[in-house]
Amino acid sequence: MTTESLHEKLMKLSSLTSKMLRKNFGRGPDSCFAFANGPFLVFYIRGFLSPMEAVLLENGNIDNIDMSRTIVMGKILNQLKGILEVDFEDEVKSSYHDWNYKQNTGMITIEFESNVKGVVATSEETPILKDLINEVNRISIIV
């Protein structure tokens, strides 16, 4: 069994997620970062608007962008679920994706049945990570 740290695992999964997006959309994001806390794994994605989607956005066709992304993301989330369940040795309870097309950002949120293995709660978390965790918690409550 490997002794891969959580940080190394998250970096590997960020890269894998970028590759999956690239393979299925024909274009990958500018960046993809993974964060874990409690039962949540969150991928923060920036720079992931294709030229076709940019044209649709300019013409106010967000619904068309959202519909096509939802179809493709269903496939990606299903593939990612299997990989994550093996990597973290836990069942995925739910998964979500949300996009801010105008800001060209998005996030994929994975909720496991139990806390992510390897997560260590510290008081030295960076402010941006705390803000992200608070926002994920807020959205999770709403959902």
pLDDT of 44 above 70: yes
pLDDT band for position 123 (cuts 50, 70, 90): very low
Say whether pLDDT at 120 is over 70.
Answer: no
Identify the structural domains of the chain with CATH numbers, from first to last.
Answer: 6-142 (3.30.980)
Query: What percent of the chain shows pLDDT beyond 90?
Result: 66
pLDDT of the residue at 1: 37
User: How far is it, in rounded angstroms, from Cα 82 to Cα 79?
Assistant: 6
Q: Is the pLDDT of residue 53 over 70?
A: yes
Residue 104 has pLDDT above 50, yes or no: yes
Among 100, 1, 91, 106, residue whose Cα is nearest residue 43: 106
Q: Which residue has the higher pLDDT, 120 or 115?
A: 115
Helix count (H) and strand count (E) of the chain? Answer: 4, 4
When pLDDT is averaged across residues 2-24 and rounded to a whole number, the result is 89
Q: Yes or no: say if 109 and 40 are a contact pair by the CB < 8 Å rule.
A: yes
Q: What does the pLDDT look like over 56-66, one tens digit per residue?
A: 999 999 999 99
Distance of alpha carbon 34 from alpha carbon 1, whole angstroms: 23
pLDDT of residue 126: 61
Report, in angstroms and rounded to the nearest whole number, the Rg of the chain calculated over CA atoms. Answer: 15
Return the pLDDT at 47.
94
**pLDDT tens per residue across span 130-143:** 777 777 788 778 77
